[in-house]
Amino acid sequence: MARIAVDMQELSEKISIVSKVVPSKVIKPILGCVLFDLNEKGVYLLASDLETSVKARLNCEYEGLGKFAVDAKVLYEVVKTLPNDVGATLELTPSNLSIECGKSKFKLSAVDPTDFPEVSLGTIGASFEIEASLLYNMIERVIFCAAVDEFMRNLNGVYWELGNGFLRLVSSDGFRLALAEQRLPIRSEMGFLLSLKSMKELMNVTRGCGEKNLRFEYDGKRVGIMVADVETVVRVVEVEFPDYKRVLPKAFKTKVVVSTNDLIESLRRTMVIAKRGSESIRIEVVENVLILSSRSPDYGEVNEEIEVRKEGEDIIAAFNPKFLIEALRHIETEEVEMNFIDSTSPLQMNPLDVEGYLYVVMPIRIV
């Protein structure tokens, strides 16, 4: 038997972090569990979906050693409903985990911890450190462009490229692409793909870590991320990410600078019609006016005008408005640059006067 005395806030926070990795359906009960590992170094909470494993150190007082497993969802719901501003006492035995907190007493059934998957990194091939919020923002800016379909394995994730003093994240679903990069003193060169699910887990563990230091390690097969008492180990997807550099457009003929917010608002309005028709909108830039339009055979048509600054030729092209809006929502500058080549080439959008990220959207053929 072992015993833990802990603040509810600490317990709730750590269980919330580790239990999110547990899949909604599991083959074996142990894979639906959080493992309490009480050893000489401290108390650790662990959860894993075999691809991603999360281990969090619990700041607490404890006596007794051993491993104890309990259903993650029940445990999560229990700690979420208990008051946050008090202490709790946990008693762990091979058959039960009891939680006593104020006048509440839970006695949860324990699961045999023997088969809990152990995941750890091998010999470290590369490592770097970065501010947690910086990495979080980079992920946030690219992840929405990844393919959602799990069967498109080479696009269902985020590609990491390290080298030449840069960390670069890229994702694409074949119709659009997002790229974020950050200067980092990295000497080794490497590239690997992490699945969308793993990336969401990484966002989850880095969220709210602010300026805390994050340590990154790579052993050739797995990536380890250590930040704020939490260690996440993610398996790399062993398929090749497409050669994205060939898609990046060059030699632009038209550069348009437009208010990010005005463009989002106009796109939202044109979408009301576009989604009831061809799902496409037409963008026309004539002199210093950008005209958005769309037409639905049954419901009518819409026409929007926005004043812009333009360099280069006039242009006409058509796009899926959803892809434009999603990219614009991740551009934080007041103005955005739209860089066109012609009506059949990809459009590049990037924040005005800010380096480090860009979006590329394929046009739709104008019939």
Query: 57: buried, middle or exposed (CB in 10 Å: 19+, 13-18, 0-12)?
Result: middle
* Count of C-beta atoms within a 10 Å radius of residue 366: 11
Tokens, residue 198: 């793993």
Question: Looking at beta carbons only, is 47 or 290 nearer to its own copies?
Answer: 290
Question: Looking at beta carbons only, is 262 or 335 nearer to its own copies?
Answer: 262
Contact 37, 183 (CB under 8 A): no
**Hey, is 352 helix, strand or coil?**
coil
Q: CB of 232: closest distance to its own copies in angstroms? A: 27
Question: Looking at beta carbons only, is 89 or 96 nearer to its own copies?
Answer: 96
CA 80 to chain centre: 24
Q: CB of 327: closest distance to its own copies in angstroms? A: 19
| Chain position carrying tokens 């006409």 | 316
Q: CB of 26: closest distance to its own copies in angstroms? A: 14
- DSSP code at position 165: T
Contact 59, 15 (CB under 8 A): no
Backbone angles phi, psi at 125, to 5 degrees: -90, -30
Question: Footprint of its own copies on this chain (CB under 8 A)?
Answer: 71, 74, 77-78, 81-83, 96, 103-109, 265-266, 268-269, 272-273, 276, 298-306
Strands 126-131 and 104-111: unpaired
Contact 276, 299 (CB under 8 A): yes
Question: Looking at beta carbons only, is 59 or 303 nearer to its own copies?
Answer: 303
- Nearest-angstrom CA–CA distance, 80 and 60: 18
Closest CA to 54 of 10, 112, 14: 14
Tokens, residue 85: 């501003």
Q: CB of 81: closest distance to its own copies in angstroms? A: 4
Helix (H) and strand (E) counts for the chain?
Answer: 6, 26
Tokens, residue 33: 């569990």
- Nearest-angstrom CA–CA distance, 297 and 299: 6
Query: Rg of the Cα trace of the chain?
Result: 25
Half-sphere exposure of 235 (CA within 13 A, CB side): 11
In the chain, the amino acid numbered 134 is L
